[in-house]
Amino acid sequence: MLAFSAIVLLTGSDQLIKWWAVEHLKESGSREFLRIGNFDIMHLTYLENDGAMFGSFSGMRWILVIVTSILMGFCIFYMIRHRKEKMLVFCLTLIISGGLGNIIDRLFRGGRVVDYLDLQLFDFAIFNFADCCVTIGAALLLIYILFFDKSGKKSQNEIKADNNE
């Protein structure tokens, strides 16, 4: 139940930030946001994106909605099935929240996702809070699978038993 509350909170936060971006950034386009000394780190830049990462699948609104919905459904199923694995549930909560935040945009903003985080340290795509949730969740999920997931690993005793049969 905590995971579903977190999904609502994260998705709501994403939508609130996007509402703010539409209301306050759309007209100005871009403004400085984070600077440390002489280092210009991040701007808030309003952008409407009708594609996926780096503009891929541009204009394919319904394919993106369907694929994202299927992936989120799989994540929800897997999260419920493995609800006792806290790290896994945390990762999937982030992924589902980000996916849901961007699906809401695609459905209610004419197929476009509102992006506003613009890194200045290096040339990178403009992204949003939902994208951060998906990226962090996916990275942590990869770490979990590689280093902590024990479901697919056999113990030395199980391997010996298999070899002796």
User: Which of 14, 105, 115, 118 is flagged as catalytic?
Assistant: 115
- How far apart CA 93 and CA 106 sit, in angstroms, is 20
pLDDT tens figures, 2-18: 999 999 999 999 999 99
Q: Determine phi and psi for 123, rounding to 5 degrees.
A: -70, 115
pLDDT tens figures, 64-114: 999 999 999 999 999 999 999 999 999 999 999 999 999 999 999 999 999
Q: Please say if 40 is a catalytic residue.
A: no
Contact status, residue 88 vs residue 79, Cβ threshold 8 Å: yes
pLDDT tens figures, 116-158: 999 998 888 899 999 999 999 999 999 999 998 877 655 555 5
Residue 119 bridge partners (DSSP):
42
Q: Please say if 115 is a catalytic residue.
A: yes
Task: Give the pLDDT of residue 117.
Answer: 95
Distance (Å) of CA 151 to CA 29, 100, 146, 155, 162: 48, 28, 11, 11, 17
pTM of the model: 0.85
User: Which of 14, 131, 149, 162 is flagged as catalytic?
Assistant: 131
* Nearest to 71, CA basis, from 107, 109, 101, 100: 100
What confidence tier does 162 reach under pLDDT thresholds 50, 70, 90? low
